[in-house]
Amino acid sequence: GKQQSGPSQGDPASSDGQQPARAQQPSQPEQSSVGRGQPGQQYHSGSVGRGQPGQQYHSGSVGRGQPGQQYHSGSVGRGQHDGQQSSHGRGQPPQSGPYQGQPPQSGPYQGQPPQGVQFSSQQQQKGPQQGQQQQKGLQQGQQQQKGLQQGQQQQKGPHQGQQQQKGPQQGQPPQGVPFPSQQQQKGPQQGQQQQIGLQQGQPLLAQQPQPSGEDKSQKPSSHSGDSQGKKDKPTAKPQKDKENQPPKKIDSGPLPMSKKSPSHQPLFPIPHRKGVGTLGRRTQVEVNQLPLNLSKLCPEIYHYDVAIDPDKPKRFLRPIVAEFIKRHCNGFNPAFDGKKNLYAARQLPFGTSKSDQITMINEERVSNNELEFQITVKLAQKINTNTITAFLNSRTTGQRLDVPQTAIQAIDVALRAAPLVSGPVPVGRSYFIPPDGRERIIELGGGLELWYGFYQSAILNWKPFLNVDVAHKGFPIPTNLVDIFCQVCRLNNPRDNFRPDDVLKFRGFVTTLKCDYEIPNTPNSRRTYRINNVGKSPANLRFRPDNGPEISVVDYFKRVKNYQIKHPDLPTVQVDPPAKNIFLPIELCYLKPGQALNRKLDEEQTAAMVKAAAKPPEDRKRRILNAIRTAQYNRSPVVKEFGIEVNENLDKVDARILDPPGVQYKNQSNPRPQPGQWRAGEFMLSYELSKWFIMCLDFRTRREKLNDFARMLASQGRNLGMTIQNVTEIKEMDTRSRQIKADVTNVLHKWKAQGAELVVVVIPGHGDFYSMVKRCAELEVGVLTQCIKANTMFKMNPATCGNILLKVNSKTNGKNHQLGERYKPGVLNRPVMLIGIDVTHPSPDQTSIPSVAAVAASHDATAFQYNMIWRLQNPREEIVVDLKNIIIEQLKFFFIKTRHKPEKIIVYRDGVSEGQFQQVLAAELNAIRQACTTLEKDYKPGITFLVVQKRHHVRFFPMKSQDEDGKNRNVPPGTIVDTTITHPRELDFYLVSHSSLQGTSRPTKYHRLWDDNNISEDELEVLTYYLCYLFSRCTRSVSYPAPTYYAHLAAFRARTYLENNPAPLNNLEGFASKNKIEPVFMKNTPMFFV
């Protein structure tokens, strides 16, 4: 998406217990128009919230004679009953679903409440005549009129389309949740509306059954690649002879932690694709996948288990296996994966098992350098490679076959043997080449330098392919540890003052790394050690050598080693073995090259990495082809022995370019389509900011600059249709105060009491001020904030102000833009809830930090407004453990905002790998269904469930000049591929939905795992593309749909709450209860997190 010139933190938070910001009133209140006459998104002809225009589904035209987005109470298209229109495009019937004036086919959604269990405690009067405003509700205690008594049957609906459609052939529903194929309830008389409300004191939800005990499911496996770096090549020595009742109010903060994972669920069969998409202009693109010819593939592959004792150091494993093959498998070329698996095209000559003892020479040691290893190679299984052919043919045969994972893994390991010959450093599925001086070495900061390499992986799509891509990774700079200390601690000189926190950063960087130790002019002193800790400085560290008198390390080196330590105040490093308490001055230690680190990059390193790695398509393609030539796959004896041939040319695949939607602003009736980017007009719905404040936490930012910003913000607001009054107060805070957090909290409480609608906070570019502000504002006070970095404030201009207002308007319940009526996907013409789900995990080195699950869900007819709920769960747990309760809260919130229950639920689930599809689908689809039936026994909306994947290595390269986009000449937004490189049987597709500002565009991959709604391929692809135009933060289409993007932002916000506020893994429930988002604030300003 667009790199915002506004605040890079994206922050926010809002509200308070005060009234939300006032809506700017429509010019003709009696016409039920929404915001100065623009087309409304109407659910129920009455206002929702405090004075906000209603989001209406029915009761007539909206705005200046334009058709409203109307869901019921009349005919659809032409020739139906009088004057009650539900527009699906220009008078057309809906593209899918039986919604032509009929009640939905499952669930009582025609304005009627669910039988038995209500979603809202508010009461609503009978719908008004067309054009009349609806009253806000009945007085408390008043009975519902023309409603149904609890448990009573609904009256018959209209004849047209009365039979229920059969659900898609998805296999059997999960046990205990038998839907979607239930009988349709009888709908009300056409046009008759039931009121939605409860008598005072009626329970909001039925009592939930207590679980009778859950089986804790296994955690999904998380495979991280080898982090083994390039080492001195070892040589072998010659052979010797509880769930609670739901609350009665919306509580959008974290609910209590579920202590158990979801129980094992029955597997859900993933539906077959019906065909492929047809919309859009047809073209071809090149893709970085090499076709594999498997016609000569060996009929069987022999898989052996390899057990090596001891199994460390890891760098010896490949040499040990190579020595074993040399001794016992002469003339054979098996492939070893570097861990525990060996694959051979023929059965190895020793039968089913063979053991041997192998001695390796550790050249890092001067003495005692022989290491003994016991190796056992045992036949585990024979793999029939015909399973690959059967799977590829399933596209035409229709057989439901699993991916032959063992066979493709064996082929993948065989293909990896080719690049290993050239000596790169293997890290997971990638190979990295040490800098050789031909290219400028790029330092990433913090002691890391950039290494280029390439990634490869064998995959099965419509055909077998080898995916090859460029790769980039930060490696520790092989230099003196004093230099590393200065870089990690951001010191200009080793004699500069440093803090205890700097030593902790240094320890975190160097622990587990290997270094060479040598005293100058003393070659015999050279040793190689692994660092396991950091100690006191040589001046302060004292010990008793040979049980003699106590002496400092400085004095010891001067007297015994004849060496004067130059940096006596810098720390020492403790090295292996720990029992010997060996501490070395860091000025005598040098990091060894080629040591990969699986650690999270900081903000500065990430920016440097992105800048260096962002290569335009032509440059990236050239690097990929160079990697292919370097690997020389077809010359590898291992690849030849397996009978694999690699076509070393990039494949050409069919693609389509979808038409972009028109993005509508206020007073626009027919917006023009804009591919990828557009200019902002007046917001569709905006709110007056009458009481807003500025808090400055940066001592360099002068009050004059803050006053200029306040004036500029008001000016830009006028251009965008916002009324922004003069800033109420500007407060400059002393951040040197030891009680700065308390000071900030007190000021926010004071401003909240004055009715603050927004607080703009200027923060320094360093430190944890952002997280501190968000915790104070959102967890403690409940007031909306917008953070701006001081550097952004220094460079403030109207364009940056405009970007900030995109966020501010969204946070204050405004609506920036929407899809033009003619571009609105048909599925959005009925009540539908769009859900984004994301689970973010800590980096591999952060073992004590929990994972964060975040769910963002829409709650308006235009799919622009969202709210979020987050949970903490155990590290690396991919399934959202408490999803049922989360969805219950989201459904209640949707109902409060729209007075309708979703007829469809469409889920975009991020972060799931292919190996986790069935596990996640079984658990989370069941959780969503159980949430629905918990609210009402027969409430069973259709669910469509897609996985969104960005972590892949597929890239497209345009073949025609007319298909090139922008100065980088990427494929244009809307480029979609759903054949050849996709699953042979299931629906998945690659979509480039954004215009890349730098580098090569990365398409997003979507895989449909479930679809009760029977949405066609074209509809699903267009819906997904158009949702990328509804992200509030920018006037560009983004790289994945808005629900997924908001789930990312929600997870990021939760991570912010954890910064310098660690959550104990043994008491996540207690932490969650103490760190709940202020509930009134959450309810009043649900988009605070954008």
Give 902-963 as a DSSP string. Answer: -SEEEEEEES--GGGHHHHHHHHHHHHHHHHHHH-TT---EEEEEEEE--S---EEESSGGG
* Tally of domains within the chain: 5
Can you give the pLDDT at residue 52? 39
pLDDT digits (tens, 9 = 90+) for 372-395: 999 999 999 999 999 999 998 887
Domain encompassing residue 446:
289-296+395-477+595-649
From CA 555, how far away is CA 1009, in angstroms rounded? 69
Same domain, 1056 and 1066: no
Model confidence at 268, pLDDT cuts 50, 70, 90, reads: confident
1050-1082 per-position pLDDT tens digit? 999 999 999 888 898 989 988 988 899 999 999
Vertex 357 angle, CA 353 and 359, to 5°:
145
Does residue 161 register a pLDDT over 80? no
Least confident range from 262-266, 554-558, 904-908: namely 262-266
Here the tokens at position 1029 are 């135009």
Coil, strand or helix: which one is 515? Answer: strand
What per-residue string of b and e applies to 937-969 under the rule 16 or more CB within 10 Å gives b? ebbbbbbbbbbbbeebbbbbbbeeeebbbbebe
When pLDDT is averaged across residues 472-489 and rounded to a whole number, the result is 96
212 Cβ neighbours under 8 A, 6+ residues apart: none
Q: Work out the pLDDT band at 128, boundaries 50, 70, 90.
A: very low
Indicate which CATH number applies to the domain containing 443.
3.30.530
Residues recorded for the chain: 1090
Spatial CA neighbour of 7 closest among 781, 785, 1041, 732: 785
Q: Which residues contact 1078 (CB under 8 A, 6 or more apart)?
A: 15, 16, 17, 253, 778, 779, 780, 781, 782
Residue at 151 is within a domain: no
Average pLDDT over residues 326-349: 96
| Residue 635 token pair | 């010359």
* Helix, strand counts (H, E) of the chain: 20, 37
Distance CA 610, CA 595 (A): 21
Inside any domain, residue 657: no
Query: In what helix (H) or strand (E) does residue 804 lie, and over which residues does it extend?
Result: helix 798-811
Q: Is residue 69 part of a domain?
A: no
What CATH number is given to the structural domain containing 695?
Answer: 3.40.50.2300
The single-letter code of the amino acid at 270 is I
Q: Which of helix, strand or coil describes residue 31?
A: helix
Residue 58 confidence class, pLDDT cut points 50, 70, 90: very low
The mean-pLDDT minimum among 924-928, 1023-1027, 1064-1068 falls in 1064-1068
Mean pLDDT of 16-21: 36
Binned at pLDDT 50, 70 and 90, residue 157 comes out as: very low
Tell me whether residue 499 is in a domain: yes
User: With 80 as the cut, is the pLDDT of residue 203 above it?
Assistant: no
Percent of the chain with pLDDT over 90: 62
Residue 85 has pLDDT above 60, yes or no: no
CATH of the domain at 843: 3.30.420.10
Residue 379 CB partners (closer than 8 Å, separation 6+): 302, 303, 304, 347, 348, 351, 352, 353
Annotate 407-433 with DSSP letters as a single string: HHHHHHHHHHHHHHTT--EEETTEEE-
Give the model confidence (pLDDT) of 432-468 as tens digits: 988 877 778 899 999 999 999 999 999 999 999 999 9
CATH (domain of 323): 3.30.70
Inter-CA distances, 154 with 124, 148, 662, Å: 19, 7, 40
On whether both 917 and 986 belong to a single domain, the answer is yes
Q: Are residues 920 and 1045 in the same domain?
A: yes
Residue 55 has pLDDT above 50, yes or no: no
Residue 725 is predicted with a pLDDT of 97
CA–chain centroid gap for 862, Å, is 23
* pLDDT at residue 817, rounded to an integer: 97
Same domain, 973 and 961: yes
| Residues paired with residue 248 on neighbouring β-strands, in sequence order | none
Measured CA to CA in angstroms, residue 400 lies from 269, 396, 866, 915 at distances of 9, 11, 37, 16
Query: Token pair of 642, please?
Result: 């397996």
Mean pLDDT of 518-546: 92
* Same domain, residue pair 991 and 1071: no
Domain match, 940 and 877 both: yes
> pLDDT digits over 951-964, tens only?
999 999 999 999 99
Joined tokens for residue 1043: 């629900």
Return all residues near 776 (Cβ < 8 A) that are at least 6 apart. 741, 744, 745, 748
Which residue type occupies 788? Answer: I
The span from the first CA to the last CA of the chain, in angstroms, equals 14
The reply to whether 1034 and 903 lie within a common domain is yes
pLDDT in tens, 600-644: 888 889 999 999 999 999 999 999 999 999 899 999 999 999 999
Task: Specify the DSSP element, H or E, that contains 887.
Answer: helix 883-898
Check residue 778 and report its DSSP letter.
I
Last residue of a domain, one of 384, 403, 420: 384
The burial of 778, by beta-carbon neighbours within 10 Å (0-12 exposed, 13-18 middle, 19 or more buried), is given as buried
What is the CA 197 to chain-centroid distance, rounded? 38
471 within domain boundaries: yes
Q: Is the pLDDT of residue 11 over 80?
A: no
Is residue 256 domain-resident?
Answer: no
CA distances from 358 to 85, 329, 348, 355, 526 (A): 82, 15, 19, 10, 27
To the nearest whole number, what is the mean pLDDT of the chain?
A: 80
251-265, 450-464, 753-767, 1043-1057: range with lowest mean pLDDT: 251-265
| Residue 632, domain member (yes or no) | yes
Where residue 367 falls among pLDDT bands split at 50, 70, 90? low
Rg for the chain, CA atoms, rounded: 32
981 and 889 share a domain? yes
Q: What is the predicted pLDDT for the residue at 848?
A: 84
DSSP letter for 118, please.
Answer: -
Rounded-to-integer distance, Cα 107 and Cα 120, Å: 17
Domain boundary among 330, 355, 384: 384
Higher pLDDT, 806 or 256: 806
Q: Residue 231 in 3-state DSSP?
A: coil
Q: CA 140, 142, 146, 149: dihedral to nearest 10 degrees?
A: 90
Q: What is the DSSP letter of 227?
A: -
Q: What is the CATH number of the domain that holds 551?
A: 2.170.260.10
For residue 488, give the DSSP letter. H
> Would you say 776 and 748 are in contact if contact means Cβ atoms under 8 Å apart?
yes
Between 321 and 600, the more confident residue is 321
Same domain, 1046 and 899: yes
Residue 717 pLDDT > 90: yes
Name the residue with higher pLDDT: 118 or 357: 357
Q: 375 and 412 share a domain?
A: no
Q: Are residues 449 and 496 both part of a single domain?
A: no
Average pLDDT of span 1007-1024: 97
pLDDT of residue 27: 36
Does the pLDDT value for residue 82 go beyond 60? no
| Same domain? 437 vs 525 | no
pLDDT higher than threshold 70 for residue 224: no
32 token code pair: 């039920």
In a domain, 676, yes or no: no
